[in-house]
Homo-oligomer: A and B are copies of this chain.
């Protein structure tokens, strides 16, 4: 199968490309290095050192004889995406090339609008390029479990039976996201659902939980590391907690820490995406996967990190509740369904205890790097106060 990975330089894009290559697929990829640039702008860096994309690709060629056909460019540019899809004629396109930071999107109007434009327009470009050039191809799009928010009912996989005033219909489950970033994913999902309705495009819309981890089965050498962000803007909860422990900083759940979310290991994420690609939707099908392994409260995870760190390293770890910068419920019901991927063969390999040991082991080799990033690990952005355009 020929797969085009948009965002191939990213946390998920890179290990996905490795997996697809090792499974015998032909992989091309695009990246604008937007995340590398934006992470630098907040004076941060990947906690694990990563090579330039061309060096990564050289290492891949030298060790496996395979490489990724790479296109440098921005998928919010329609010419770039049309030309690339004409040239590669992929069977499937994985869209991971969006602005992916919720805190970044909440910094102010400029960042909010940039996130809206980049994310929505890239998906529109992809919809039209597929329709015009490779209408049988499968779009696998990365969304987020955060699209649903935290309703007081179970969360189905995309659609559910509604009963209202005595009548019934099968409708999209109402979304209720918690940041501009998360809303762009909702807008994308809606646009994809509509494209499928008008043109019958094959679409898998992945509502993914929070991914954690440094490794997949294909990452066996430091030269193959994928980026690992730990700062307030670009890092995510569990990965950040591990880095805080390793840097002897307090572990900082936001507010009460009762916020519950679906989580999955990087290995499981790559497995799920690969299943989605290798078992594509039928012509005319739009399907939604809720992609996660387990759900945890943020406080449970903070305690788990503390426990593992103290056991493995023999030092005390501190948990420090910090004021929640986000506008979200800190105690709530949470029961999302996640059946479809399991029905297609997904068997979660995540083992939180072992995974945390491995993450900390990888990070502890780069303690100096992480300690230099201390200033950007602790939270500062407050969403309610996110500033306007000219301020």
Contact = CB atoms under 8 A, between A and B. Distances in A.
Contacts of A190: 175, 177, 183, 186-187
A132 B388 contact: yes
A12 interface: no
Contact of A389 (B82, B112, B154, B183): B82
Number of copies: 2
A220 interface: no
Contact of A194 (B78, B132, B163, B177): B177
Interface in A350-382: none
A113 interface: yes
Contact of A171 (B112, B132, B151, B178): B151
Contact of A167 (B154, B194, B391): B154
Nearest to A164: B153
Contacts of A121: 113, 116-117
A125 interface: yes
B333 A167 contact: yes
A79 B160 CA distance: 43
Contacts of A177: 190, 194
Nearest to A129: B388
A167 B183 contact: no
A152 B132 contact: no
A146 to B, nearest CB: 12
A151 to B, nearest CB: 5
A169 interface: yes
Interface residues of A, number: 59
Interface in A193-232: 194, 197-199
A128 interface: yes
Contact of A391 (B132, B160, B176): B132
A109 interface: yes
A128 B109 contact: yes
Interface in A151-176: 151-154, 156, 160, 162-165, 167-169, 171-176
A283 interface: no
B151 A169 contact: yes
A124 interface: yes
Given A79-B389, A327-B198, A164 B156 contact: yes
A160 B167 CA distance: 13
Nearest to A112: B124
Contacts of A191: 180, 183
Contacts of A82: 388-390
Interface of A: 78-79, 82, 108-110, 112-113, 116-117, 120-121, 124-125, 128-129, 131-133, 151-154, 156, 160, 162-165, 167-169, 171-178, 180, 183, 186-187, 190-191, 194, 197-199, 327, 333, 383-384, 387-391
The 10 closest A-B pairs by CB, nearest first: A132-B388, A152-B169, A109-B128, A153-B164, A171-B174, A78-B389, A154-B165, A153-B167, A172-B174, A187-B187
19 contacts: A78-B113, A79-B389, A79-B390, A108-B128, A117-B117, A120-B120, A128-B388, A129-B389, A132-B387, A151-B162, A151-B169, A153-B168, A154-B167, A162-B162, A163-B163, A172-B174, A174-B174, A177-B190, A198-B327
